[in-house]
Amino acid sequence: MAPHAIPQDLSIGASSNGSAARDPSVFVDAPNVKYEANQILSEYVYENAHVIQSNDRLIVRPTKSAFEFKTETHVRRTGLMMIGLGGNNGSTLTATIVANRSKTTFQTKNGLQESNYYGSVTQSSTLKLGIDAQGKDVYVPFSQIVPMVHPNDLVIGGWDINSANLANAMSRAKVLEYDLQRQVSKELSQIKPLPSIYYPDFIAANQSDRADNLIPGNDKSAHLEHIRKDIRDFKQKNRLERVVVIWTANTERYADVIPGVNDTADNLLEAVKSSHAEIAPSTIFALACILEGVPFINGAPQNTLVPGCIELAEQKRSFIGGDGAFLYLDFMLTPDFKSGQTKIKSVLAQFLVDAGIRPLSIVSYNHLGNNDGKNLSAPQQFRSKEISKASVVDDVISSNQILFNDKVGKNVDHCIVIKYVPAVGDSKVAMDEYHSELMMGGRNTISMHTVCEDSLLASPLIIDLVVVAELFSRVQYRSKGETEWKPFYSVLSVLSYWLKAPVTRPGTDVVNGLNKQRACLENLLRAFVGMAPANEMKLEEKSMNMEK
């Protein structure tokens, strides 16, 4: 078949400020892909295998399903509203965006530093596109496959229980270099968080001295309407086409999941009307977003998305990401930004199990001195964090019935310690020990010591969550032969790469393995432009008679 004519102008994804540098530079020349004025249409065959247990034999039946994808190429003018805007993550991210917009350079003890988005997958990583004529791998920036919003174009706003403007919040956080703070301070001083919801029972008592910027009263229904109006006003004032809301505030305690209260959408809405004690602030925000059709992502390890919340999102076809209250392996799964120690844990545990080595225990110790650490010094808030950290290796363990079975056991001893040490500030100290069983009863211990700047790892993840959530709001699919286009399922499990223990569709397995999550993300992007999953077989090098 003759190759398609390659368009001379690929500026199909220009953001609202006309920044052509953010357009995709990849054109897929294939009969199953069409680049139209406002959309990319692709046909895709999804191949998998259905496995049936028959006595002692596993019968494998390969399957094929034909899908079509439609990706709108107009990148919407997008606003990011953060709950916890004045916290370390919120102030750090806002200052970083301001600095990148103006290409700010600043002095550090290591010399002159240029602003960048290191740590962001969408802004600073690449993916393999294919091979060139010499058989060498070709990589492109992650954001060049399909049009994506650029963080420089985000309009920032949000809520906080503390009234400090963003310049003062940035100074209080002590994350960024002084010379950078000095240069962005004027612009940040103009940004002040909206009043937020404060239910003292849900966060540590040591946070009460910061709570001077509150929506008044105890009527949770009124609070819900207040937040909905804040979102509408922010969208209208800034002439936005899309708003994404992220919880990056303090960790809450777990809310009890109570039949008749928060187990269904109707019960949850009635419980809000009666201001039931087990309706958390984060759940109020999630409900406001769902009712406004705004994507909501929970970036803290509490069970914000109780079953009633997820049911309502399904009904409204509104995107949510983060945690949930579904029971797996005897405890609830929760979210939390997967920034440093947990990301390494998901990789190292996978490495050990894939190598046929049996992990026996994983012990993780942390101490940190930022406000997150202060809040986590309270037992109920620590418990939320402990669960999110502990659950990240569960699917890795369940994947290998040779190493983990009824005879030798199906669990790994998992101990997590978090201590608040004010002196270290935002530089979190982590120490990990992986104790494993080798062949013939041998033992192996891997010990790691990490010091990381917590907010400089977490803030780029917020960028990725917003960018990918906005992208998926522009993608629809249908099975081959269907006429109706559909959005993706409300729970955006594709965001799992950036969350410690994300919720997924009820009845399906959670995937925590980092490599699997990354492969899923890459291959979905490839599917949107009609490309097959990434292939590392390298048959071009292994076969003597195979055409390149």
Give which of 371, 372, 370, 376 is closest to 424, Cα–Cα: 370
pLDDT at site 1 = 34
* 70 part of the active site: no
pLDDT band with cut points at 50, 70 and 90 for residue 4: very low
State in words which class domain 78-332+456-526 has: alpha beta
**Neighbour tally for 48: CB within 10 Å:** 10
Q: How do the domains of the chain map onto residue ranges?
A: 78-332+456-526, 341-453
Of 220, 235, 343, 428, which residue is the catalytic one?
428
DSSP 174: T
* 428 part of the active site: yes
Q: Is the pTM of this model over 0.75?
A: yes
Give which of 428, 451, 336, 431 is closest to 373, Cα–Cα: 428
Cα-based angle 299, 303, 304 (whole degrees, multiple of 5): 65
> Residue 326: phi, psi to the nearest 5?
-85, 140
532: tokens are 């097959």
pLDDT at site 479 = 95
DSSP-derived 3-state class of residue 26: coil
pLDDT band with cut points at 50, 70 and 90 for residue 341: low
Give which of 461, 492, 474 is closest to 149, Cα–Cα: 474
Of 336, 394, 395, 464, which residue is the catalytic one?
336
* 385 part of the active site: yes
pLDDT band with cut points at 50, 70 and 90 for residue 294: very high
Lowest-pLDDT range, 171-175, 335-339, 361-365?
335-339
* Residue partners of 48: CB distance under 8 A and separation at least 6: 62, 63, 65
Mean residue pLDDT across the chain: 85
| Distance in angstroms (rounded) separating the CA atoms of residues 84 and 395 | 31
278: tokens are 């087990």
| Distance in angstroms (rounded) separating the CA atoms of residues 309 and 277 | 16
Of 192, 220, 235, 385, which residue is the catalytic one?
385
pLDDT at site 372 = 66
Of 220, 343, 345, 500, which residue is the catalytic one?
500
* 374 part of the active site: no
In tens, the pLDDT along 78-125 reads 999 999 999 999 999 999 999 999 999 999 999 999 999 999 999 999
pLDDT band with cut points at 50, 70 and 90 for residue 14: very low
Could you tell me what percentage of the chain is helix, strand and coil, using 3-state DSSP and rounding each to the nearest 5? Answer: 35, 25, 40
274: tokens are 């009666």
Lowest-pLDDT range, 16-20, 95-99, 111-115, 382-386?
16-20
Classify domain 341-453 by CATH number.
3.30.360.10
